[in-house]
């Protein structure tokens, strides 16, 4: 049939196809004249096409039998049907033991000045694991780097946003009192939560209703004062060295130097006002007041555990300001133990919750996060390694009480809400630390439990793991998991 014999419709189609034919001929000529592609480009193109084809086949209708995630994971050498990226590396990323920034084939020796002691305390800063990536603020502060305020009878040093800016929700103070020494009568705008590290501390307080409280708080126990409640702290003679404790305040901007002190207030009040306020009998009644704050000072006597509070016509506070955490039975776990105290059992502590955690050598405080609360941590003993995942491929590893350092000072850690993390014991002794939160109730989400309670096919599609591995996931929180055999 000639062109003239074509119907009007066929003629239109024929005319429309002519440009495509011309383009095809030109492309064929150009490709014949172009140099051959390199083998790496061909390989990459084939791999990319194959991966696209596998992905497409997993979501497109097919006349043949469907490929399941289970079929794709029969051999660890194959990617799951939904994989679009390469598997993770299985190379070792344990902390280095030397003092040079070298990990595998990466890095080079330091040629300029360096601080070997600081390097040994922070091996994962010197040679980070290859899984670290991106940028992340510092979440480690050793109290040994804090400025110390020395007084007759003790000392105090603090951590706040001034030294660790990311810690916006909480601040800490480490304080020491010799027997009989007093942290003078005072109060704060914030609440005060405490954990006794050593010795015994006698606490006294009066609430807004005129109800009082007095108790001796021993090592491992807690106290809590709501905002504005006046109180005092005094070391007893139970330990000949006195007492030492950790204080946590629910504001990262807190400063110990901004405390409301009894002697400071009176030193800045006209004498006639003081005499009128206390109905002085004579002009000399209050003339011995200190001219400035005492802060920490020796009281001239050592309190006894048998002391009782003065009788108050309003009675005693209905909710105790102290809690005997040391007498609480710990929950035993495969890799350690945990004690959790919040307002459900320490009723007055409505702004602070704590988990006291122990981790055996080689074990791990499991991968987890806290949905709405920042975590302020304090490492009491042992050696820890923590990686914080901050989303968007940002992850950073920190060392607390590093085993290669000559000394181990108390370190403070901080993990913002919702950021994934774990705490690994990398030492040869038990790791003990506190997880502290600005909340009335402790909460966390376990990665292991989350995956165990998610549809198995969905988990396998994400991670490329076998049915057997899925079956080993824990439907209850491991909390602290034992090390691998």
Summarize pLDDT for 40-75 with one digit per residue, the tens: 333 333 333 333 333 233 333 333 333 344 444 444
Q: How confident is the model at residue 82 (pLDDT cuts 50, 70, 90)?
A: low
Binding residues: 186, 188, 192, 231, 368, 370, 375, 421
Residue 98 lies in a domain: no
Q: Can you give the pTM of this predicted structure?
A: 0.82
| Distance in angstroms (rounded) separating the CA atoms of residues 169 and 158 | 15
Residue 68 or 202, more confident? 202
The rounded Cα 123 to chain-centroid distance in angstroms is: 19
CB 353 within 8 A of CB 194: no
Indicate the residue among 40, 57, 84 that finishes a domain: 84
> Helix, strand, or coil here: 209?
coil
Residues 442 and 463 in one domain: yes
CB 356 within 8 A of CB 219: no
CB 135 within 8 A of CB 392: no
pLDDT at 62: 36
| Cα 326 to Cα 163, 359, 451, distances in angstroms | 31, 17, 34
Residue 387 lies in a domain: yes
Range of weakest confidence among 3-12, 49-58, 204-213, 251-260? 49-58
pLDDT at 213: 98
DSSP 298-362: E-SS---TT--PPP-TT-B-SS-SEE-GGGSPPEEETTEEEEEE-TTTSTT-SS-EEEEEEE-TT
Tokens of 464: 């490329």
Integer-rounded Cα radius of gyration of the chain:
33
The number of folded domains in the chain is 3
DSSP 420-440: EEEEEE-SSS-EEEEEEESSS
Residues 248 and 350 in one domain: no
Summarize pLDDT for 444-470 with one digit per residue, the tens: 999 999 999 999 999 999 999 999 999
Indicate the residue among 265, 294, 325 that finishes a domain: 325
Q: Which domain holds residue 450?
A: 332-481
Residue 9 lies in a domain: no
Q: How confident is the model at residue 77 (pLDDT cuts 50, 70, 90)?
A: very low
Range of weakest confidence among 96-105, 127-136, 223-232, 297-306? 96-105
| CATH number of the domain residue 281 falls in | 2.60.120.10
Catalytic residues: 435
Residues 215 and 259 in one domain: yes
Q: How confident is the model at residue 81 (pLDDT cuts 50, 70, 90)?
A: low
Tokens of 218: 């021993």
Residues 252 and 339 in one domain: no
Binding residues for Mn(2+): 186, 188, 192, 231, 368, 370, 375, 421
């Amino acid at each position: 049939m000639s062109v003239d014999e074509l119907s009007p419709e066929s003629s239109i189609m024929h005319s429309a196809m002519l440009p495509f034919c011309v383009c095809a001929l030109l492309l064929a000529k150009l490709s014949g004249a172009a140099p051959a592609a390199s083998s790496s480009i061909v390989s990459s193109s084939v791999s990319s096409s194959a991966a696209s084809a596998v992905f497409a086949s997993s979501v497109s209708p097919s006349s043949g039998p469907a490929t399941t995630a289970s079929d794709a994971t029969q051999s660890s050498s194959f990617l799951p049907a939904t994989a679009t990226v390469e598997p993770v590396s299985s190379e070792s990323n344990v902390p280095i033991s030397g003092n040079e920034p070298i990990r595998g084939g990466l890095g080079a020796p330091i040629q300029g000045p360096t601080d070997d002691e600081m390097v040994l305390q922070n091996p994962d800063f010197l040679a980070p694991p290859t899984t670290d990536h991106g940028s992340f603020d510092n979440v480690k502060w050793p109290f040994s780097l804090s400025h110390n305020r020395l007084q007759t009878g003790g000392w105090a040093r603090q951590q706040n946003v001034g030294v660790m800016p990311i810690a916006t929700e909480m601040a800490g103070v480490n304080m020491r009192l010799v027997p009989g020494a007093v942290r003078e009568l005072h109060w704060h705008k914030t609440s005060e939560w405490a954990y006794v590290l050593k010795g015994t501390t006698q606490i006294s307080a009066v609430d807004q209703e005129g109800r009082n409280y007095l108790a001796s708080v021993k090592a491992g126990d807690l106290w809590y004062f709501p905002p504005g409640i006046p109180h005092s702290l005094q070391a007893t003679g139970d330990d000949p060295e006195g007492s030492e404790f950790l204080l946590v305040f629910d504001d990262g901007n807190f400063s110990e130097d901004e405390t409301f002190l009894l002697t400071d207030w009176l030193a800045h009040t006209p004498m006639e006002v003081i005499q009128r306020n206390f109905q002085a009998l004579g002009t000399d009644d209050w003339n011995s007041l200190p001219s400035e704050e005492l802060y920490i000072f020796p009281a001239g006597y050592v309190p006894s555990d048998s002391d009782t509070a003065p009788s108050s016509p309003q009675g005693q506070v209905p909710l105790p300001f102290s809690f005997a955490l040391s007498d609480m039975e710990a929950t035993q776990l495969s890799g350690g133990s945990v004690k959790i105290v919040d307002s459900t059992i320490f009723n007055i502590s409505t702004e602070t919750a704590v988990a006291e955690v122990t981790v055996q050598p080689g074990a791990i405080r499991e991968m987890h996060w806290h949905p709405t609360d920042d975590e302020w941590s304090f490492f009491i003993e042992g050696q820890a390694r923590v990686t914080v995942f901050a989303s968007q491929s940002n992850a950073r590893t920190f060392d607390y009480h590093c085993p290669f350092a000559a000394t181990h000072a108390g370190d403070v850690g901080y993990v913002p809400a919702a950021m994934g993390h774990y705490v690994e014991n990398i030492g040869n002794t038990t790791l003990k630390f506190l997880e502290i939160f600005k909340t009335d109730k402790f909460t966390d989400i376990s990665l292991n439990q989350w995956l165990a309670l998610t549809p198995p096919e969905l988990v396998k599609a994400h991670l490329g793991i076998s049915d057997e591995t899925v079956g080993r996931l824990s439907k209850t929180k491991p909390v602290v998991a034992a090390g691998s055999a």
